[in-house]
Chains A and B, each alone.
Chain A
Amino acid sequence: MRRASWLPLLLGFLLGAAGGVYYAWVVDPVEYVDTAPASLREDFREDYLALIASAYAGTGDLQRARARLALIPEANPAEKLGALAQQRLARGRPQAEVQALAALAAALGERPTPLASTATPLVGASSTPPAGRPASPFPTRTATPTRTPLPTRAPTATPGAPFALLSKEALCEADLREPLIQVEVFDAAGQPVPGVEVLVLWDAGQDHFFTGLKSDVRPGYGDFAMAEGVVYAVQVAHGGEQATGLQATPCEDEEGRSALNSWYVRFLQPALETSPTTPTPEAPATPKP
């Protein structure tokens, strides 16, 4: 074939390709419809996670929360939720949202099995449901006798009863990178409570943190890094007894290693009515954050 005979073919090809691109970009551009939560932009995805946590706080339905979380691929959802709670706390987001994130992180953290393998899809749960079938993975259909398990809601503190200081103990742990105020909060039944706001006060200011954000430690646990030479006090937010005089001072552990001492403080929410059978939480081993 002569060189000139290729020219119309090449020209046609270019015209066709240009026409295709024009059609795809201008005449009928891509519209994002029928997308799944997994494709959400990072900020929307974080909002979605917060919404899952808030819905869980409203219903206490952990199975449903797990099914929803399974739609958003995360290697470690509990860790992600904990980190998100801390970010949102720092950004001044509503406390209810932060507490919900912490509570869900704690509820998931109690079960170390990876989420993907434990998530029990509800009716029709699938990220790509079969065509023609309404995909509604979450709500339980009335027609199907799939009994929703009893709520496995993470325990929350009973409103109204101020927390009492149960114990305050200095610890010398050379393994810690920095001295910590380690706080553990229990409800009247002696169960650890995630999502409780704890205030840390010192001469020049104050800060706060929530229990249950560290999925690898017990759900009622939270900690705060101390600076040397500062005297701190801690209390559960919204009233309650204070643990005062917490200061990081030089100490030696059992093996003779030098360190700055940490503090381990436990708060207990007393029962509203005096009961001789109110359980006292067992003294746990020193947390290793």
Chain B
Amino acid sequence: MSPSLRRLLIGVLLGLTAGLIYGWLLRPVRYVDTAPDSLRADYRTDYVLMVAEAYRGDGDLDLAQVRLAALGPLAGESYVAEALEYAVANDFSRTDLDTLNHLAVALRALPAPAEIGGP
């Protein structure tokens, strides 16, 4: 290997190392201005539980759907099902499970959205 090539490779390694030290140690990523769809699973589940608790209080299913829409593009029912799964796996209380289920049932009872199709 020629000395020039060796120096080039050493430079690449030094550059990568410097980049990683800068990115991981000096200025690591700080999460700011995130949206609810990026919440960790436990926070996400609690978010859905809050929506369900609020729905239990005010009975406003439209508002519950708007709140669930902040979690992503899927139907609200999917997020509630996901939350129920997490809640069961993590031994949530009976009351919490009932609250989530109450919302799930209400969402399932909604008529399916009309499909946009051909003539």
Residues of chain A having any CB pair with chain B under 8 Å: 5, 8-21, 24, 30-37, 39-42, 44, 47-48, 51-52, 54-55, 57-59, 68, 71, 94, 96-97, 100, 129, 134-143
Complex contacts, A15 vs chain B, CB 8 Å: 8, 11-12, 15
B1-56 CB contacts (< 8 Å) to partner A: 3-5, 7-20, 23, 29-36, 38-43, 45-47, 49-51, 53-56
Report yes or no: A12 in contact with B15, Cβ–Cβ below 8 A: yes
Complex contacts, A140 vs chain B, CB 8 Å: 92-93, 96
> Counting chain A CB atoms within 10 Å of each CB, which of B13, B35, B55 scores highest?
B35
Report yes or no: A8 in contact with B7, Cβ–Cβ below 8 A: yes
Q: What are 6 A-B pairs at a CB distance below 8 A?
A: A8-B4, A9-B10, A12-B12, A17-B19, A32-B38, A34-B41
Report yes or no: A32 in contact with B7, Cβ–Cβ below 8 A: no
Report yes or no: A139 in contact with B87, Cβ–Cβ below 8 A: yes
Least distance between B119 CB and chain A CB atoms (Å): 39
A87 to B45, CA, bound (A): 28
A17 to B16, CA, bound (A): 5
A-B contact count (CB 8 A): 185
A245 to B14, CA, bound (A): 81
Residues of chain B having any CB pair with chain A under 8 Å: 3-5, 7-20, 23, 29-36, 38-43, 45-47, 49-51, 53-58, 60, 63, 67, 70, 86-87, 89-94, 96
- Main SS of the interface on chain B? helix
Complex contacts, A30 vs chain B, CB 8 Å: 29
Report yes or no: B54 in contact with A16, Cβ–Cβ below 8 A: no
A129 to B42, CA, bound (A): 10
- The answer to whether residues A12 and B42 also contact, given A20-B20, A96-B60 and a CB cut-off of 8 A, is no
Report yes or no: B5 in contact with A13, Cβ–Cβ below 8 A: no
Q: Closest chain B residue to A20 by CB distance?
A: B19
Report yes or no: B57 in contact with A16, Cβ–Cβ below 8 A: no
